[in-house]
């Protein structure tokens, strides 16, 4: 009986604590961080994304989604808001089928996006 109670308590603890950090992968700790306003950003680690589309806007949207999905996979969604990132650069080229774009920036967490999600 006691083992069963311990198992239930442990499962409840893992469920509660896991929910709070379930989205953090733990990999962000391998990089140096710095504060930029209300955001916490990597010191100098850039992420890249690329995309294509029939229009330049569609290709840029695809590139940003690529940046966000890779960043979320590696560090968690708290780091994956492209709008929160810093040191952004972007480049688009016309191709025979439309446009290709690439983006690069340093991931950050916190800031206005995180504040809106917390409400």
Model confidence band, residue 72 (pLDDT cutoffs 50, 70, 90): very high
CB 58 within 8 A of CB 66: no
| pTM, full prediction | 0.72
Residues 6+ apart with CB under 8 A from 89: 103, 104, 105
Geometric angle at alpha carbon 62, from 91 and 83, rounded to 5°:
75
Where along the chain do its domains lie? 46-119
pLDDT tens digit sequence for 22-64: 477 778 878 889 999 999 999 999 999 999 999 999 999 999 9
pLDDT level of residue 8 (50, 70, 90 thresholds): very low
Instruction: Report the 10 Å Cβ neighbour count for 96.
Output: 4
User: What 3-state class would DSSP assign to 65?
Assistant: helix
What DSSP element (H or E) covers 96?
none
């Amino acid at each position: 009986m006691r083992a069963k109670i311990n198992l239930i308590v442990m499962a409840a603890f893992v469920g509660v604590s896991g929910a709070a950090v379930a989205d953090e992968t733990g990999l962000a700790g391998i990089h140096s961080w710095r504060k930029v306003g209300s955001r916490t950003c990597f010191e100098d680690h850039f992420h890249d994304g690329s995309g294509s589309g029939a229009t330049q806007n569609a290709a840029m949207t695809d590139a940003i989604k690529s940046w966000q999905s890779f960043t979320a996979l590696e560090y968690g969604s708290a780091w994956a808001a492209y709008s929160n990132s810093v040191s952004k650069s972007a480049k688009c080229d016309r191709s025979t089928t439309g446009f290709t774009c690439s983006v690069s920036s340093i991931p950050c967490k916190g800031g206005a996006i995180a504040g809106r999600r917390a409400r």
